Structure 1
Amino acid sequence: MELLSTPREAGVRAAVTARDLVKVHGRGDASVRALDGVGVSFGAGRFTAIMGPSGSGKSTLLHCLAGLDAVDSGTVHIGGTEVTGRTDRELTRLRRERIGFVFQSFNLLPALTARQNVLLGLELAGREPDPAWFDAVVDALGLRDRLRHRPAELSGGQQQRVACARALVGRPDVVFADEPTGNLDSRAGAEVLGFLRASVREFGQTVVMVTHDPVAASYADRVVLLADGRLAGEVDRPTPDTVLAALRHLGGA
């Protein structure tokens, strides 16, 4: 399958590229083809949402793109670096140095302060933070007066903002977000989504997000649609209504 590309994506440098991805869960008669020849690219400095009906393969695709799950065949590149086929040690280093993650569960260490959680990835990678960039991220997320608090002393929205700061403080090539607002109320979710969009528009960050929520997807520049492990189209400049219409066409709403 050829790479999916639109006129707006054409000419935009690809931050992440997948070619002919196949991922099978299970064996024999019980096997499920979670990804069935997916080829797609994600432009640098763009905010892309991945959507589809339950079981469409969207989370599997995200995990394979991020090197969290191995593929059965096909390739993934982040910039000019191939992710597929690397050893666990090489993947760990790649994720620490070039990838940021924001998950539905905040994955903060309860014994550490917000500041320590934000800087944990850099510390594990043996890298020193850029003080000016740290300040810019913390201030953009409104965390300045929460840096000494531990996760139990923070609201869900504040914890997710800490997770966003942790993902961005190392200036990764790409941030992968898997249902980042799934555990948040609508107001806190809007704050997190607004920041992810601002990180793209103001900081030039690349964000790839899986979501089931058409409102969340409307914060993105582009929505890539999956169905039955295959690409099923896309929505450019999405709104909640256009995303809902596309999902209904897939039988996902």
Structure 2
Amino acid sequence: MTSRSTFVPACSAHDVVRVYGRGDAEVRALDGVSVAFERGRFTAIMGPSGSGKSTLMHALAGLDGVDSGRVVLHGDGRREDVEISAASDAVLTGLRRDRIGFVFQAFNLLPVLTARDNVLLPMRLAGTRPSQEWFDEVTGRLGLSARLDHLPHEMSGGQQQRVAVARALLPQPDVIFADEPTGNLDSQSGAEVLSMLRSSARETGQTVVMVTHDPVAASYSDRVVLLADGRPAGEIAHPTTDTVIDTMRALNVTGAAVAAR
């Protein structure tokens, strides 16, 4: 596990600007954002609608470019720092294969493959394979051991999302980015997936960065980073559902007051 006495970044943004459109239609989705995400922690990104939270995550993950500023995926002694914002498509493809994992709201499982084959597919495509011990640990911790030979349509939504989490965890990436991972789940299934993401950070030192609009989901994280109008708007350490709700209410009220001027 990462020591908590020193903040060690897993990824970071430095004065990042992302603009869509031109002229009267210009939207500054990110307007000079600087923020770092700690290695081995579970961090949520939140903000009002249109705050830039998904744009920030996409920039951090190399799914979208930036107009200025720097995005860095930090090394850990075994791997070197990489400036995501200046990387070629070939480098980004390699990073998404080896160092960046994804969990999305849509499970993105191949319907003709079993849970086992869906979990293993990215590593097989990369020409690598996990140790049997690590595969058993990940699938066992996620409660999938008895479901590995089932097809996606034979599984509940929560079980399918656990398969997606296992698929992201198995290559042991530097960072897992989760975009509204419980958006298609009922409350119980969502709680199970969030608990798994939290335990992955606390028990194995996995870095998880999650975008969510849900205060309950955010309460599972170690820290909430807040955005408003494309700019940093503070953060919440050790969030609870109530502290997130109160903070988001204040952000929404402030944004409405600014818009009314």
| Bin of the TM-score, shorter chain as denominator length | over 0.9
Q: Say what the alpha-carbon RMSD is for the aligned residues.
A: 1.4
- Determine whether 1:47 maps to 2:42: yes
Report percent identity of matched pairs.
66
Structure 1, 86-95 or 98-107: larger mean CA deviation: 86-95
Whole-angstrom distance in 1 between the partners of 2:4 and 2:43 = 11
Aligned partner (choices 4, 9, 13) of residue 14 of structure 1: 9
Aligned partner (choices 52, 60, 69) of residue 74 of structure 1: 69
Which residue of structure 1 aligns with residue 248 of structure 2? 247
Q: CA, structure 1 residues 10+29, in 2 after alignment: closer, same or farther (shift >3 Å)?
A: farther
Secondary structure of the residue aligned to 1:84 is helix
**Structure 1 residues 45-85: Cα deviation after superposition (integer angstroms, max 9, x where no partner):** 00000000000000010010000011111111111221112
Contact 1:22 1:74 in 2 (8 A): yes
- Determine whether 1:173 maps to 2:174: yes
Letter in 1 for 2:68: S
Q: CA, structure 1 residues 9+66, in 2 after alignment: closer, same or farther (shift >3 Å)?
A: farther
Whole-angstrom distance in 2 between the partners of 1:132 and 1:245 = 44
Whole-angstrom distance in 2 between the partners of 1:237 and 1:59 = 22
Aligned partner (choices 51, 59, 69) of residue 54 of structure 2: 59
Which residue of structure 2 aligns with residue 35 of structure 1? 30
Whole-angstrom distance in 1 between the partners of 2:99 and 2:131 = 15
Which residue of structure 2 aligns with residue 184 of structure 1? 185
**Structure 1 residues 89-140: Cα deviation after superposition (integer angstroms, max 9, x where no partner):** 2111111100110000001111111111101111122212121111110000
Structure 2 unaligned blocks of 5 or more: 75-80, 255-261
**Structure 1 residues 203-225: Cα deviation after superposition (integer angstroms, max 9, x where no partner):** 11000000000010000000000
The count of residues paired between Structure 1 and Structure 2 equals: 246
Match runs of 1:59-208 below 5 Å: 59-79=54-74, 80-208=81-209
Whole-angstrom distance in 2 between the partners of 1:24 and 1:231 = 16
Whole-angstrom distance in 1 between the partners of 2:152 and 2:66 = 34
Q: CA, structure 1 residues 210+252, in 2 after alignment: closer, same or farther (shift >3 Å)?
A: farther
Contact 1:53 1:252 in 2 (8 A): no
Whole-angstrom distance in 2 between the partners of 1:43 and 1:121 = 26
Secondary structure of the residue aligned to 2:40 is coil
Structure 1 unaligned blocks of 5 or more: 1-7
Q: CA, structure 1 residues 9+55, in 2 after alignment: closer, same or farther (shift >3 Å)?
A: farther
Secondary structure of the residue aligned to 1:119 is helix
Structure 1, 29-38 or 243-252: larger mean CA deviation: 243-252
Whole-angstrom distance in 2 between the partners of 1:88 and 1:180 = 26
Secondary structure of the residue aligned to 1:171 is coil
Which residue of structure 2 aligns with residue 4 of structure 1? none
Contact 1:17 1:77 in 2 (8 A): yes
Structure 1, 138-147 or 121-130: larger mean CA deviation: 121-130
Which residue of structure 2 aligns with residue 5 of structure 1? none
Q: CA, structure 1 residues 227+195, in 2 after alignment: closer, same or farther (shift >3 Å)?
A: same
Which residue of structure 2 aligns with residue 26 of structure 1? 21
